Amino acid sequence: MLIDTHCHLDFADFEAERDDIVARAHAAGVSQMVTISTRVQKLDGLLAITEKYPSVFCSVGTHPNNAGEELDIQTEDLVRLANAHEKIVAIGEVGLDYFYDTQTPADQKTGLLRHIAAARQTGLPLVIHSRSADEDMAEILTAESGKGAFPFILHCFSSGAELARTGVEHGGYVSFSGILTFPKSEEIREIAKTVPLDRLLVETDAPYLAPKRWRGKRNEPSYVVNTAEVLADVHGLTYDEMAKITTDNAFRIFAKMPRL
Ligand SMILES: [Zn+2]
Ligand SMILES: [Zn+2]
């Protein structure tokens, strides 16, 4: 059994075959999934998906690449929405993306701070997207954790060792995607080895980043199996051991998500 802790089932890529995709996930042993919000404006669509599929849960938040579009969303809006819906089990994704650089760092930081405050108030985990922004992200995590701890996940980890260390130090979880399985990802696998077992998560970030076995194809939650296999390998464990570890971790950090 596995949990895909980060996918985007509301994207148009999945529209026509969502039933099949959820069924294939279950058949592969992926018993539950968290479909992640990228725009608060589109929350209704996400909630409709979680209502249709009992095994699908969701988050609420604004992706850093959309930060400037949702500066009207305040901390209290996020808190109110998260508290109003039982299927919302996380805040985000939010963060800093200096790779795509479509939004100003100032707008991205504003959004990030509001979401951190919402995670602190609700106790729901903050799903953090960090790309080409290691130093700023480490600085913000350290400063904000100092003001009051909040649960968080460094999702789709592709940053440097130092950010992983900072995240773990402040109680964070580190989630690995298909990137872990790519031949060139030696450095990411080295970092994965250093993350304590009780902080590891797996995800697909589908429809992006299909793992090696399905590289080049559109990704989907059932493919998270390949990432868990490689993560097991990295830690010298069996697949079943790693599946149990990451699943137990998922239910610990996504504390609002029931085990079905
Ligand atoms: Zn992301
Ligand atoms: Zn994502």
| Ligand 2 geometric centre to CA of 63 (Å) | 8
Distance between CA atoms of residues 252 and 220, nearest Å: 24
Please report which helix (H) or strand (E) contains residue 201, including its range. strand 200-202
From the CA atom positions of the chain, what is the Rg in Å?
17
Report the phi/psi class of residue 207: left, alpha or beta, with left for phi > 0 and alpha for psi in -120 to 50. Answer: alpha
Which listed ligand is nearest to 8 at the C-alpha? 2
| Ligand 2 geometric centre to CA of 5 (Å) | 10
Q: Extract the residue ranges of the chain whose pLDDT is less than 70.
A: none
CB-based contact 119:126 (threshold 8 Å): yes
Distance between CA atoms of residues 221 and 28, nearest Å: 9
Summarize pLDDT for 112-134 with one digit per residue, the tens.
Answer: 999 999 999 999 999 999 999 99
| Ligand 2 geometric centre to CA of 46 (Å) | 13
What DSSP character marks residue 257? S
| Ligand 2 geometric centre to CA of 74 (Å) | 21
| Ligand 1 geometric centre to CA of 155 (Å) | 7
Directed axis angle between helix 105-122 and helix 75-84, to 10°? Answer: 40
| Ligand 2 geometric centre to CA of 94 (Å) | 9
Which listed ligand is nearest to 203 at the C-alpha? 2
* All domains in the chain, ordered by first residue: 2-253 (3.20.20.140)
Question: How does DSSP assign 203-230, residue by residue?
Answer: ---BTS---GGGTTSPP-GGGHHHHHHH
Predicted local distance difference test score (pLDDT) of residue 13: 87
Any idea what the Cα angle at residue 214 is, between residues 240 and 194, rounded to 5°? 50
Summarize pLDDT for 148-183 with one digit per residue, the tens.
Answer: 999 999 999 999 999 999 999 999 999 999 999 999
Residues around ion ligand 2, judged by CB within 5 A, are: 36, 205
| Ligand 2 geometric centre to CA of 33 (Å) | 13
Query: Max Cα separation, the chain?
Result: 47
| Ligand 2 geometric centre to CA of 153 (Å) | 12
Which listed ligand is nearest to 204 at the C-alpha? 2
Structure tokens at 205: 């970030």
Task: Give residue 118's identity as a one-letter amino acid code.
Answer: A
Report the phi/psi class of residue 34: left, alpha or beta, with left for phi > 0 and alpha for psi in -120 to 50. Answer: beta
Report the C-alpha dihedral over residues 236, 251, 258, 154, rounded to 10 degrees.
Answer: -110
Which listed ligand is nearest to 128 at the C-alpha? 1
CA 132 vs CA 50, 135, 168, 181, 208: distances in Å? 32, 9, 19, 20, 18
Task: Give residue 130's identity as a one-letter amino acid code.
Answer: S
Which listed ligand is nearest to 155 at the C-alpha? 1
